Chain A
Amino acid sequence: MHCNNCGHELPDGVRFCSNCGAPVAYPEPDYPEHDYLEHNYEEQGPAQPYAEPEEHIDPRPETQQRAAGGQNQPSDTKAIVSLCCGVFAAICLFTGAGSILGLIAAIVGLVFGIKARKENPSTMATVGIVLCALNIALCALVFVGCLACLGSGIAAGAGAEILEGIESIAP
């Protein structure tokens, strides 16, 4: 059968067109009144109390619905920001002292990625989250000092040593 709206070929039984999203109209069953009632009784048993008809729900993801309607998608913007931050952080990671900027970018990107994914699960948001989390882990690996070092002298020593470590790793 074909979609009434765009003419796209559709398999039997679908409720919405996979191309344009329009609801698919099926012809009414052509039962004589007597046969219809009997057929209905056999299948469903005695008549059930009246129930509200199901609300018309579009089964497509929110992204597709909005794309069909030509609307802006804030979650997509957040996903793009997350991905950009992840890439920026990955570049900064190899710039020695500039990696602190990368860490900040990765944190911002991770928060945006999580928000985007919670609003609308998309591959871009997932990639942004993974990239930012990986960058934070790498930053933690190479230049996070001790959590409990209160003495500034100790911290200064650790910082200088770790900075040298970063510089030895960085090309």
Chain B
Amino acid sequence: MHPFVDILGLTIPTYGLCLVCGALLAGLIALALGRRCHAKNEDVIFCGMYAAIGALIGAKAGFILAHAGEIIAAMRQGGLRELFGAFVSGGFLSFGAMIGGLTGFLLYCREFGADRDKLACCLLPTAPLLLACCRIGCFCAGCCYGIPWQGPLAVLNTCSPVGVNGVPLFPVQLLAAAASLLLFVLMLCLPSGRYPAPFGRLLGVFLTLYGAGRFGLEFLRGDHLDRMWLGLTWSQWFCLAAFIAGVLLWRRFRKLRPA
């Protein structure tokens, strides 16, 4: 794997590179979708920025909340450097990012009176694309690794700073990236017809399918197995909640918006 790449003499983390490239690609696709939905370019860009800021804050806040006890212990024992290394620079919670991103999106629509349905049709389908890029970054960095696996497509990490080295693993990150790309294509096809699909319907489809897919993929993951409750990981409990919320939203908004 390649956790770092050298570009013009600079050592750049591959995960960050995938994240930024994914964000740029998602932004371009959102702008293209904006033309289809007759949304203003300015609104698409600014709403995307609000959602990105929300996602960043939500992901970090979620991580800090999930590790509050450990952070307090680290503060008592270590110095500022250890605290920064452990909890400030690294570590984000994907469900925190989702909640934060959604909050940022809704906040923008409310504050500036933007059309929620139109902007959702532009921005929501790009979320799985961004997730897919992040998963490719995970694969390169060697984190979010799979269960030990001797079968076909097994991956052997040799220089991962964050994963397991020297053990053949199932490439669950690539499977998750493929599933996210499939969800991206599906959500692109969803708002068919002349009218943008209601925001609740798109969000419902996203939460339902993402929750179901991630729930299954968690069984193939080999990391954070120590964080389990009633036989399921914390992520799987979040997935269950997302799935139920998604089904409820989908049922509520399954009809297209009238003219």
Residues of A at under 8 Å CB distance from B? 97, 100, 107, 110-111, 114, 117-118, 129, 133, 136-137, 140-152, 154-163, 165-166, 168-169
Establish whether residues A152 and B112, one from each chain, have CB atoms under 8 Å apart when the complex forms. Answer: no
Interface size class of B (residues with CB under 8 A): 35 or more
Given A110-B53, A150-B235, the answer on whether A144 and B92 have CB atoms closer than 8 Å is yes
* Given known A141-B17, A162-B13, contact A146–B53 (CB-CB < 8 A): no
The residues in B between 112 and 138 inclusive whose CB is less than 8 angstroms from any CB of A are 112, 134, 137-138
Do the beta carbons of A100 and B162 come within 8 Å of each other?
no
Contacts of B4 in A (CB 8 A): 165
Q: Which residues of B contact A163 (CB under 8 A)?
A: 81, 84-85, 89
Q: Which of B57, B138, B224 has the most CB of A within 10 A?
A: B224
Q: B49-105: which have CB < 8 Å to A?
A: 49-50, 52-53, 56-57, 59, 63, 66-67, 70, 80-81, 84-94, 97
From 184 to 211 in chain B, residues with beta carbon under 8 angstroms from any chain A beta carbon are: none
CB-based contact B85/A156 at 8 Å: yes
Q: Which residues of B does A touch, CB under 8 Å?
A: 3-4, 10-13, 15-17, 19-20, 23, 42, 46, 49-50, 52-53, 56-57, 59, 63, 66-67, 70, 80-81, 84-94, 97, 112, 134, 137-138, 141, 143-144, 161-163, 223-224, 226-227, 234-235
Q: Is the CB of B89 within 8 A of A162?
A: yes
Given contacts A110-B49, A141-B16, A157-B161, contact A149 B90 (CB under 8 A): yes
- Residues of chain B lying within 8 A (CB to CB) of residue A169: 10-11
- Residues of B close to A147: CB separation below 8 A: 59, 92-94, 97, 134
Closest to A158 in B: B90
When distances are taken between beta carbons in the complex, the residues of chain A under 8 Å from B12 are: 141-142, 165
CB contact between B20 and one of A117, A137, A158 (< 8 Å): that residue: A137
Interface pair A111/B53, CB less than 8 Å apart: yes
Which of A117, A155, A161 has the most B CB atoms < 10 Å from its CB? A155
B50 in contact with A114 (CB, 8 Å): yes
Q: Which residues of B contact A152 (CB under 8 A)?
A: 67, 70, 86-87, 91
Closest to B233 in A: A150
Residue from A107, A140, A159 within 8 A of B91 (CB atoms): A159
Chain A, interface SS category: helix
Contacts of A158 in B (CB 8 A): 89-91, 141, 143, 161-162
The 22 listed contacts between A and B (C-beta, < 8 Å) are: A97-B80, A97-B84, A111-B53, A117-B46, A140-B23, A142-B13, A146-B90, A146-B134, A146-B144, A147-B93, A148-B144, A149-B92, A150-B223, A150-B227, A151-B224, A152-B67, A154-B91, A154-B143, A154-B162, A160-B86, A161-B162, A162-B13
In contact, A162 and B88 (Cβ under 8 angstroms): no
Looking at the assembled complex, report how far the CB atom of A75 sits from the nearest CB atom of chain B, in whole angstroms: 13
Q: How far is the CA of A161 from the CA of B226 in the complex (A)?
A: 23
What is the minimal beta-carbon distance from B237 to any residue of chain A, in angstroms? 12
- Residue of B89, B227, B234 near A100 (CB, 8 A) is B89
A140-B20, A155-B90, A161-B161 are known contacts. Are A148 and B143 too (CB-CB below 8 A)? yes
Contact partner of B86 (CB less than 8 A), chosen from A114, A141, A159, is: A159
Q: How far is the CA of A141 from the CA of B92 in the complex (A)?
A: 15
Q: Which of B138, B144, B235 has most A Cβ within 10 Å? A: B144
Q: How far is the CA of A105 from the CA of B41 in the complex (A)?
A: 25
Question: What's the Cα separation between A159 and B81 when bound, in Å?
Answer: 10
Contact indicator B144/A149 (Cβ below 8 Å)? yes
- Nearest CB of chain B from residue A77's CB, rounded to whole Å: 18
